[in-house]
Amino acid sequence: MRNVFNAFPMLVMVLIAWHSGVVFAQVVGSSSAPATNGTDPTSIAFNAKEILRGLRDKNPQVRSKTLNDLKTLNDLESMHRLPSSIVEVVGDLLVHDTSGSNRVTAIHLLARQYSPKRLEFVSRALEDKDRYIRANAVIKLGRWGPNAASVVPKLLSALADKRNEVSVSVTYPPIFRPLRYHIATAIGRIGPCGAKEALSQLVHAMKDETRGEDSSMVRVAAALAVIRIKNGDAEALQVLVDALSNPSEYVREEAASSIA
């Protein structure tokens, strides 16, 4: 009898998982979103026409549903690759969709895997009117590391852009950071590939003390980027050391984390 009771929770979990799969299949197969043959991520290629129809729908909610279904399917199979036709349309939505949330979802979808085409699409979002979308694009570009070397000039332009002298949160709960902090961090993660173009502007940002705490955060990120690009730099290291005594707790924590 004890074995029966021990097995009961597992049976409940199996039934819940089965029911969730049925509901998911019903939802993605509805008239408002593309059919994807249940939860099998490999089925995307065979339903490309229906998915493309959902992505091109005039209703932003239908486009949102389709994008989120694709995002979920990618979660289920990390090695799955979206067909190029879908990548093209998602990239177009990233630039032209009127819904900011759809544009953010498009960034996350495209950034799942690197390709030159995906890099091109995500880098276009650096010009988006929405600071939140620009920040998401910057962070994703940085995570591609050296593969994103070709967009360093665009990142440097973004670093100098007055529109980016703002703070933004890309986390929940919200933690606000200067957008230029994220840009400098991304350049540092891309590394030596863009060194000649990046160093002088990063050094300038590293010495900028005109905007209080925001400038301090940017200086820390720029100093760390210089250290990464030059594989060590005494002046940049001193910026980090000085930041350890900054009045702002956030700046001190960021400097300590960078030194560590």
- Say if residue 184 is in the same domain as residue 59: no
**CA-based nearest residue to 134, from 109, 99, 166:** 166
Tens digits of residue pLDDT in 210-240: 766 788 999 999 999 999 888 778 888 899 9
How many Cα atoms within 13 Å fall on the side-chain side of residue 39?
12
Residue 212: what residue type? G
CB-CB contact of 103 with 94 (8 Å): yes
- 255 pLDDT above the threshold of 50: yes
Position 223 in a domain: yes
| Confidence label for 46 from pLDDT (cuts 50, 70 and 90) | low
Position 186 in a domain: yes
- Say if residue 134 is in the same domain as residue 252: yes
Query: What's the pLDDT score for residue 155?
Result: 96
Domain around 4? 1-113
Question: Looking at per-residue confidence, does 24 or 81 come out higher?
Answer: 81
Residue listed under structure tokens 């959902």? 54
- 18 pLDDT above the threshold of 70: no
- Say if residue 19 is in the same domain as residue 108: yes
| Confidence label for 14 from pLDDT (cuts 50, 70 and 90) | very low
84-96 and 60-76 helices, crossing angle to 10°: 130
Position 124 in a domain: no
Among the ranges given (29-38, 161-170, 217-226), the one the predictor scored with the smallest mean pLDDT: 29-38
First-to-final CA distance of the chain: 55
Total domains in the chain come to 2
Average pLDDT over residues 23-30: 37
- Say if residue 97 is in the same domain as residue 157: no
**Interacting residues of 155 by C-beta distance below 8 A, sequence separation 6+:** 126, 138, 141, 183, 186, 187, 190, 194, 198
- Return d(Cα 236, Cα 254) in angstroms, integer: 14
Q: Which residues of 204-228 are buried (b: 16+ CB within 10 A; e: fewer)?
A: ebbeeeeeeebbbbbbbbbbbbbbb
Query: What's the pLDDT score for residue 170?
Result: 92
pTM comes to: 0.78
How many other β-carbons are positioned within 10 Å of the β-carbon of residue 237?
16
Position 118 in a domain: no
- 6 pLDDT above the threshold of 80: no
Position 89 in a domain: yes
Structural tokens at position 117? 């085409």
Average pLDDT over residues 79-103: 89
Domain boundary among 47, 80, 113: 113
Bridge partners (DSSP) listed for residue 177: 168
Query: What's the pLDDT score for residue 71?
Result: 84
Query: What's the pLDDT score for residue 75?
Result: 55
